[in-house]
Amino acid sequence: MPHLSYEGGDSFPYALYYQDKKKGFDDLPELKIRNVNQRTIDFLDQKAKEVSKINGYKVSRNDLLKTIVEGYPTQEILRYKEDHFDQAVKLMTNKLQEYIDSNDALIKALLFDDERSGNLDD
């Protein structure tokens, strides 16, 4: 089966990948989650239906949860990189503003000195 993806925007930012048991994915360890609130289960079921409708074939709650759990480390790395990128952009923006302010001050000083000495070409 081909790559599954969900383009649902911010409400569900995970890509889904189909894993075929014929390729050895059935040898992976199991993870069981117990005592989950029914509203959470209903939400996951609804998201699985939405993704199924978009992709044209059934996506189970289990596939959805596997994608979320397996995608978590990648999401954390992206968030970390995004935070560092935002910090770098903020630093560069502040430095650029300092440069602009110093240039403005220099231009004003040069103009003021020209006005005081009478060297304006008006």
The per-residue pLDDT for range 52-89, each reduced to its tens digit, is 998 888 989 988 888 888 877 787 888 888 899 999 99
61 in Cβ contact with 49 (< 8 Å): no
Mean residue pLDDT of the chain comes to 77
Answer whether residue 80 is part of any domain.
Answer: yes
- Percent helix, strand and coil across the chain, each to the nearest 5: 70, 0, 30
Please write the tens of the pLDDT for every residue from 8-52: 444 444 444 444 445 555 666 777 888 889 999 999 999 999 989
Answer whether residue 98 is part of any domain.
Answer: yes
Answer whether residue 35 is part of any domain.
Answer: yes
Give the tokens for residue 11.
């409400």
Answer whether residue 77 is part of any domain.
Answer: yes
Answer whether residue 22 is part of any domain.
Answer: yes
* pTM exceeding 0.75: no
Domain count across the chain: 1
* The pLDDT value given to residue 64: 87
Answer whether residue 89 is part of any domain.
Answer: yes
**Given pLDDT bands bounded at 50, 70 and 90, which one contains residue 4?**
very low
Answer whether residue 110 is part of any domain.
Answer: yes
Instruction: Give the type of residue at 55.
Output: N
Q: State the Cα angle at 72 between 61 and 90, rounded to 5°.
A: 135
Range of the domain at 101: 9-117
Which among 61, 66, 54, 58 has a CA at the least distance from the CA of 29?
66
Answer whether residue 122 is part of any domain.
Answer: no
* The pLDDT value given to residue 42: 94
